[in-house]
Homo-oligomer: A and B are copies of this chain.
């Protein structure tokens, strides 16, 4: 557990949400100005395989890292890509049963599931209302529900 690894872990735990490697890099850099992105990636990988943090992939190109390692669901904003924890407990019986059904039908060995709610976060809802009759581009994005190509950093 080097100084770098410790601080990377601290900054992720402190972040509260699900930052990208680059976002963590920027935070850590304020405390360790000479740290490199490569070290951040290497340590995040290490922490993931040690089970100290989680790794997420969403509709956006970048990996995101998760301070929590217990089972929980997420909710994703289709407009800005933000991922938050869904404030509910993981489903038990009904979905375990489904896992078995799906396992039998597909011949997969199923051992879990991921549930992700999708929608627009409150900030993006506000932005859309505000621009509803002003910027046609925003409307279009809203209609197609297509995720933007690159992340809009919050």
Interface residues of A (CB under 8 A from B): 48-49, 51, 55, 57-60, 75, 77, 84, 86-88, 94, 98-99, 101-103, 105-122, 125, 144, 146
Contact = CB atoms under 8 A, between A and B. Distances in A.
Contacts of A51: 144
A99 to B, nearest CB: 6
B94 A108 contact: no
Contacts of A88: 98, 101-102, 105
Nearest to A112: B118
Contacts of A84: 106, 108
Contacts of A111: 118-119
Contacts of A109: 119-120, 125
Which of A107, A110, A114, A120 is most buried by chain B, counting CB atoms within 10 A of its CB? A114
B86 A102 contact: yes
B114 A102 contact: no
Contact of A120 (B59, B108, B113): B108
27 contacts: A48-B146, A49-B144, A51-B144, A57-B57, A57-B58, A75-B106, A75-B108, A75-B110, A84-B106, A86-B106, A87-B105, A88-B102, A88-B105, A98-B117, A102-B117, A108-B117, A108-B119, A108-B121, A108-B125, A109-B120, A111-B119, A113-B115, A113-B116, A114-B115, A115-B115, A115-B116, A116-B116
A48 B146 CA distance: 8
Given A57-B59, A118-B114, A75 B48 contact: no
